[in-house]
């Protein structure tokens, strides 16, 4: 079973944002979506989740069009972390337990709160459960929102800049969690800015520019100097270190 984006074309305010985008996310895969600012990464994530409706083409979750799936049912299939961070004057655990709304008809159960604590533990935030979300640092808020997505227990995760606002250690921790979830059968699609983090942890990389896929495939296939120069407009060297490809900008 897969999430399939089939020749999706999106126009917003008269501008072409996505042009004939096609991709597939399977269970057990970790795919990173890379590209410069304004390339269409966030719009693509919103389109997959059904927030943005394409002018043509379609998005399908396990064979069903996202626009015919009820929102509550969609939230059981796709977990979505947006780039924008909400403001909430709530306890951290109460923010996370919102991820259980699709499963709770009235109010969260004891089991829902238990799952919320487990999700907080996954991101190293279990000791913050009674803290006020609004008083957290940017990184702590990001980890809390990731826990909320994990708490949904969906087959697929759409993570838009999941490592933003995080220090280096926390970035690596989040990438390890995403990799572990993929190894347990989740399909994970991440919009990323950090090419090297993406290269270290991804099964597959998709490079987009101006709303079009430039290259996709394995890390070794995609992370090449000429391709990166084409997409980002900067010369780089790609070297192998500790078994990973590392992209180094050429400063002239």
pLDDT score recorded for residue 107 = 83
Assess contact for 139 and 161: CB atoms under 8 A: no
d(C-alpha 39, C-alpha 43), whole Å: 9
Q: Using CA atoms, how far apart are residues 236 and 207, in angstroms rounded to an integer?
A: 15
pTM score, whole prediction: 0.93
- Provide the pLDDT for residue 1: 79
**What is the third-level CATH fold of 2-249?**
Rossmann fold (3.40.50)
Which tens digits make up the pLDDT trace of 82-121? 987 777 789 999 999 999 988 876 688 899 999 999 999 9
Are 160 and 149 in contact, with CB atoms under 8 Å apart?
no
Task: Enumerate residue ranges in the chain where pLDDT < 70.
Answer: 105-106
CA distance 120 to 158: 18
103 DSSP 8-state letter: G
Residue 70 has what pLDDT? 87
């Amino acid at each position: 079973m897969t999430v399939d984006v089939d020749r999706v074309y999106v126009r917003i305010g008269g501008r072409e944002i996505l042009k004939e985008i096609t991709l597939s996310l399977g269970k057990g895969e970790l795919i990173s979506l890379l590209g410069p600012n304004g390339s269409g990464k966030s719009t693509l994530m919103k389109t997959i989740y059904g927030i943005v409706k394409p002018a043509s083409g379609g998005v399908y979750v396990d064979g069903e069009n996202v626009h015919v799936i009820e929102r509550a049912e969609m939230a059981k299939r796709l977990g979505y972390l947006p780039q924008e961070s909400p403001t909430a004057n709530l306890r951290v655990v109460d923010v996370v337990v919102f991820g259980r709304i699709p499963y709770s008809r009235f109010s969260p159960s004891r089991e829902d709160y238990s799952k919320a604590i487990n999700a907080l533990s996954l991101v190293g935030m279990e000791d913050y459960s009674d803290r006020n979300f609004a008083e957290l640092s940017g990184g702590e808020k990001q980890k809390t929102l990731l826990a909320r997505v994990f708490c949904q227990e969906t087959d697929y995760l759409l993570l838009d800049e999941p490592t933003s606002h995080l220090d280096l250690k926390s970035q690596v921790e989040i990438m390890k969690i995403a990799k572990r979830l993929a190894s347990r059968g989740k399909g994970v699609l991440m919009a990323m800015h950090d090419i090297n983090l993406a290269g270290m942890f991804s099964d597959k990389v998709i490079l987009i520019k101006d709303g079009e896929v430039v290259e996709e495939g394995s890390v070794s296939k995609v992370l090449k100097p000429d391709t990166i120069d084409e997409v980002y407009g900067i010369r780089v060297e790609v070297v192998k270190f500790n078994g990973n490809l590392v992209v180094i900008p050429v400063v002239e």
